[in-house]
């Protein structure tokens, strides 16, 4: 058997890379993580998931959003909220998470290497050290690519990081704008649109599609769009951006003019350009090995997360949808297990999706559109938060939990939630689906009172009553 410097080399230190490295280390393998930046955590901790979700929580608290239904629309914890107020909490959480990640890797004896990696051949990686100490080649048995993505750019858009910026640059803006236009209605664009509209910023969302987030149940998306409209956000769907131009005039100072192909014109103080993500694979020299990728640099993998080069795996955002930290972690674990012949069990079709809009959305299983297309007979049951005592206590009058179950067998097929705590509540339905449970489980089960989990029982009764049972 060939001797290698490492049994597994992980390129990238985000959630997918971390989990792959730790899983391999638990199997007593020699593991190293290569990170081209001087800090660990990847986009997730530094510019993506952790900052945006912490920013959201700071906004929810300081704006008084959760209490407005009880104390009125004018209620706020702090007047004149600034970016400094929001970043105080965000910076604290980022630093704490960075320390945790480093500690977890080191205590599992994972070697950390600050370098930029590129392929020489399928078992050799060249490491160019970030502190300019030169480079060296290392031999590896298996490789996991977990380099993540970066915000997609185009030469047609004058990105300056101040008036026109990407999501990766958002945390660097020095003040809250009076108006913000979000170009792109994907998950990231909608999350930031909700955050800023909750702060009272006049938000406009532009997207070429007529329907946002097609993988989410249509009724849930319609509810989100209603909330955005209630917060004075304007949705320009089915519209294409023709040009973005920073302008300056004596009356209004610096602004951004956005021309749409339909002839409409939008004037805004700032513009967030969020049309998707591009795989961070440019420096890897994947062409040398013929590793397959699409037009956005996202790598193609099989069901075991292997690329077309068998000993090279790819996981996380760099392989595309769903591009969530939770799914990326599991992909990293599964890839490491497969590389070293460890059998695993997983239910990929039951991966939950959490979307941290305001209100938040979470979904698991199939939606109505998918079941209709597949010709599967189903019924639905719904529970409104306002029907539940806990919903009244926390002041969430608009939350919705929706169950979808098979018409004949009553097997639970999907759970879709919008409202406070959606990303926590979803795991109850996920567990029932994992065991092929029926909707009657919720009717026969006893939930703590008062809790939002009672929505499951209310929705189950609603669905069964629709059957005339």
Task: For residues 11-30, give the mean pLDDT.
Answer: 94
Quote the pLDDT of residue 44. 53
Percent over 70 (pLDDT), the chain? 97
- 309 pLDDT band, cuts 50/70/90, is very high
**Which phi and psi (to 5°) does residue 237 adopt?**
-95, 150
Q: Which of 1-10, 110-119, 139-148, 361-370 has the lowest mean pLDDT?
A: 1-10
What is the pLDDT averaged over residues 20-38?
A: 92
Q: How confident is the model at residue 349 (pLDDT cuts 50, 70, 90)?
A: confident
Given a cut of 50, whether residue 305 has pLDDT beyond it is yes
Among the ranges given (4-8, 250-254, 268-272, 461-465), the one the predictor scored with the smallest mean pLDDT: 250-254
Q: Tell me: pLDDT of 45 over 60.
A: no
Residue 179's φ and ψ, nearest 5 degrees, are -140, 145
| pTM as predicted | 0.88
* Contact indicator for 246, 163 with CB cutoff of 8 Å: yes
Q: What is the pLDDT of residue 2?
A: 56
Q: Is the per-residue pLDDT at 178 higher than 60?
A: yes
Give the pLDDT band of residue 1 (cuts 50, 70, 90): very low
Give helix 187-198 / helix 49-62 axis angle, nearest 10°.
20
Does the pLDDT of residue 140 top 60, yes or no? yes
How far is it, in rounded angstroms, from Cα 220 to Cα 400? 8
> Average pLDDT of 407-436?
96
Residue (of 101, 141, 137) closest to 19 by Cα position: 101
Q: Are 164 and 157 in contact (CB under 8 A)?
A: yes
Q: Which domains does the chain have, with CATH numbers?
A: 6-151+278-347 (3.50.50.60), 164-275 (3.50.50.60), 359-466 (3.30.390.30)
Give residues with Cβ within 8 angstroms of 312, minimum separation 6.
Answer: 122, 142, 143, 144, 145, 289, 291, 306
Task: Place 172 in a pLDDT band, splitting at 50, 70 and 90.
Answer: confident
Which ranges of 179-321 does DSSP label H, i.e. alpha helix?
187-198, 218-230
Q: Over 90: is that where the pLDDT of 53 sits?
A: no
**Closest C-alpha among 197, 181, 205, 180 to residue 63:** 197
Mean pLDDT of the chain: 90
The mean-pLDDT minimum among 62-76, 104-118, 164-178, 413-427 falls in: 62-76
Higher model confidence: residue 318 or residue 172?
A: 318
Binned at pLDDT 50, 70 and 90, residue 469 comes out as low
Min mean pLDDT across 95-104, 111-120, 260-269 is at 95-104
Buried b (16+ CB within 10 A) or exposed e, 295-328: eebbbebeeebbbebeebbbbbbbbbeebbbebb
> For 284-288, what is the mean pLDDT?
92
Q: How confident is the model at residue 108 (pLDDT cuts 50, 70, 90)?
A: very high
Q: What is the pLDDT of residues 319-342, one digit of tens each?
A: 998 888 888 999 999 999 999 999
């Amino acid at each position: 058997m060939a001797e290698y410097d490492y049994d597994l080399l992980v390129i990238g230190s985000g959630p997918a890379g971390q989990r792959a490295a730790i899983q391999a280390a638990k199997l007593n393998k020699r593991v190293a993580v290569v990170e081209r930046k001087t800090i660990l955590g990847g986009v997730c901790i530094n510019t993506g998931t952790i900052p945006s979700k912490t920013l959201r929580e700071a906004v929810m608290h300081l704006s008084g959003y959760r209490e407005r239904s009880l104390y009125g629309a004018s209620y706020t914890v702090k007047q004149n909220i600034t970016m400094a107020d929001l970043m105080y909490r965000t910076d604290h959480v980022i630093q704490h998470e960075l320390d945790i990640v480093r500690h977890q890797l080191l205590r599992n004896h994972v070697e950390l290497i600050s370098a930029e990696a590129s392929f020489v051949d399928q078992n050799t990686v060249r490491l160019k050290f970030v502190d300019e100490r030169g480079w060296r080649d290392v031999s590896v048995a298996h490789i996991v690519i977990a380099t993540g993505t970066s915000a997609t750019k185009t030469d047609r858009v004058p990105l300056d990081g101040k008036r026109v910026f990407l999501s990766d640059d958002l945390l660097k803006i020095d003040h809250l704008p009076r108006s913000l236009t979000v170009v792109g209605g994907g998950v990231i664009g909608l999350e930031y649109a909700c955050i800023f509209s909750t702060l009272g910023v006049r938000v406009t969302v532009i997207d070429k599609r007529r329907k946002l987030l097609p993988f989410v149940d249509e009724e849930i998306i319609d509810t989100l769009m209603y909330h955005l409209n209630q917060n004075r956000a304007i949705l320009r769907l089915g519209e294409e951006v023709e040009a973005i131009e920073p302008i300056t005039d004596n009356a209004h100072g610096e602004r951004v003019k956005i021309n749409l192909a339909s002839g409409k014109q939008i004037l805004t103080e700032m513009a967030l350009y969020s049309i998707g993500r591009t795989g961070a694979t440019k420096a890897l020299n994947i062409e040398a090995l013929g590793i397959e990728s699409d037009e956005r640099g996202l790598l193609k993998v099989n069901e075991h997360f292997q690329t077309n080069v068998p000993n090279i795996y790819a996981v996380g955002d760099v392989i595309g949808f769903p591009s969530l930290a939770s799914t990326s972690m599991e992909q990293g674990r599964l890839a490491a297990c497969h590389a070293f012949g460890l059998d695993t069990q997983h239910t990929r079709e039951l991966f939950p999706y959490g979307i941290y809009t305001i209100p938040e959305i979470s979904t698991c299983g199939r939606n109505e559109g998918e079941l209709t297309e597949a010709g599967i007979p189903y019924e639905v049951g719904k529970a409104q938060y306002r029907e539940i005592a806990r919903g009244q206590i926390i002041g969430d009058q608009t939350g919705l939990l929706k169950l979808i179950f098979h018409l004949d067998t009553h097997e639970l097929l999907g759970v879709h939630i919008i409202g406070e705590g959606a990303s926590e509540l979803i795991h109850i339905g996920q567990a029932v689906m994992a065991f092929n449970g029926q909707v009657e489980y919720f009717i026969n089960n006893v939930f703590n009172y008062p809790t939002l989990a009672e929505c499951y029982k209310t929705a189950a009764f609603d669905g069964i009553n629709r059957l005339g049972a």
